[in-house]
Amino acid sequence: MPKIQLKRVYDSFDQSDGLRILVDRIWPRGIKKADAKLDEWMKEVAPSSELRKWFGHDPQRFEEFEQKYVNELRNDEEKKAAFEKLWEKAKNNDISLLYAAKDEQHNQAVVLKKELRLRNRWSK
C-alpha cells in the first residue's frame, strides 16, 4: 500500500505529500483555500457535527470518540461512501490526510489512517 501521512493543514507543502486531502468538516481558520494546496476536501468523511462537538478534542474522550467515529464510518451511508472513495485514492496513491487540530495524536485523521490500514488488510 502506498504511504499515508498525517499533516496539519497549516504545515508547509512538500513534494512527498502525495494527494493532499483535507478531512475536516469545517474549513480551518486563518488559511486561504489557495494556500492550503489541496487536491480535495472530503468533509463528508469527517465526524458528524454532534460527535465533533461532544469530543471537543479532549484526549480523555479519544478512545470513545474513536469507537463512535468508526461506527459512523461503517454505518452511516454518506460516510461509508466517502470512506470508500478515500480508500480508493489511498490504495493507489501516496496521500496526506490534512487536519486542523493542534493535537497530533487525538484527531479524526489518526482514526482514518488506522481504518485505511485495516481496510487494506481486509482487501487482500
Q: What is the pLDDT of residues 30-48, one digit of tens each?
A: 999 888 999 999 999 999 9
- How far apart, in whole angstroms, are the C-alpha atoms of residue 108 and residue 122? 21
What angle (nearest 5°) sits at the alpha carbon of residue 115, between those of residues 112 and 118? 155
DSSP tag of 21: E
- Residue at grid coordinates 487494506: 120
Kindly write down the DSSP assignment for every residue of 70-100, as one continuous string. HHHHHH-HHHHHHHHHHHHHHHHS-EEEEE-
Domain range summary for the chain, segments of one domain joined by +? 4-123
**73, 83 contact by CB (below 8 A):** yes
For residue 37, what is its C-alpha cell? 494546496
Instruction: List, for the chain, all residue ranges whose pLDDT scores fall below the cut of 70.
Output: 1, 121-124
* DSSP three-state, residue 4: strand
Q: Which one, of 103, 98, 80, 100, lies nearest residue 115 by Cα? A: 80
Q: Which one, of 45, 25, 52, lies nearest residue 106 by Cα? A: 52
